[in-house]
Amino acid sequence: MMQKNTTQFGLTLAIVGTALFALKSIFIKLAYAHGVDTTTLLTLRMLIALPFYAGILLWLLRQADVVKPVPQELLMLIGLGFMGYYLASWLDMEGLQYISAQLERLTLYTYPIMTTLLGWLFLREKITWQIVSALVLTYGGILLLYAHEAAWNTNNAALGVSLVTFAALTFAFYVVFSKRLISKLGSLLFTSIAMLMSTGFIFVQFLLTHALADLGKLPLPVWGYAVLLAIFSTLLPSFMVSEAIHRIGAAKTSIVGTVGPVLTILLAVWLLGEPFGWFHLVGMALVMGGVSLLRK
């Protein structure tokens, strides 16, 4: 009975966490409608989430059994925080300025394919027919959606897809090289430190390109969307998904995660008024079908 309750709670966490992550692109698009730029919005997102991650880190460091990173691992954490939560986030959010939320979400969703290819390149993992098939299907779906969007978004589609593709690649590097540290330190400690490091990077970028007083001039809705983005699409789902992995395993959690792009697409059509036709349906099916091959 206890095991059943644990599994059910884990599945609930995975579903809710995935749904909250799916809202990220929607909140960003709604904030952009008020004229905010990527660097400012990402700065707000990270600064709002910072006290929570800092509090969790302090609590963890007071635990007697916590495994603390050695100086070399701390340097790796700085690099991983730069890649996974700063650079990948900035590239993804910047790409959303130029393409639809649907194309952005499905392009970003290809990062497991990139992770697998990087594992083959750097860790000598085997390439199987499933990986090749997944590669063909996912990028076939992306090309279909890109061709459809480029027909009317001629000036921005290529730039937007390129930015999000680089975001997916950067995040794939983060996933590949963070596994060992997460296994040693635990996901809570690792995520808290990486998030704090990335906050430092984005704040430095903001200070180099903006005046601190600019934050006080932002429209109230931008602050509202930044709070929603920081709490409901960053902080809560990051810990929900980590706990779901702990309770039901990475495989089941990743299967639940396949509903994320579907939710984002439905919300983009409903809340943002983005079009949806057979191009989107076929493209979505190809991308999700390709990624799902890696989970068999």
pLDDT in tens, the chain (296 residues): 555 566 788 788 888 888 888 899 999 999 999 999 999 999 999 999 999 999 999 999 898 888 888 889 999 999 999 998 899 999 999 999 999 999 999 898 888 788 888 878 877 777 788 878 888 888 888 888 888 888 887 788 999 999 999 999 998 888 888 878 887 888 788 888 988 999 999 999 999 999 999 988 999 999 999 999 999 998 888 778 777 766 776 556 666 677 788 888 888 989 898 888 888 888 888 888 887 776 65
Secondary structure (3-state) at 191: helix
Contact 149, 95 (CB under 8 A): no
Q: Is the pTM of this model over 0.75?
A: yes
Please report, for the chain, how many H helices and E strands are present, in that order: 15, 0
**Domains of the chain: total:** 1
By residue range, what is the domain housing residue 272? 2-293
Secondary structure (3-state) at 241: helix
Contact 44, 230 (CB under 8 A): yes
| C-alpha dihedral sign at 31, 36, 42, 45 | negative
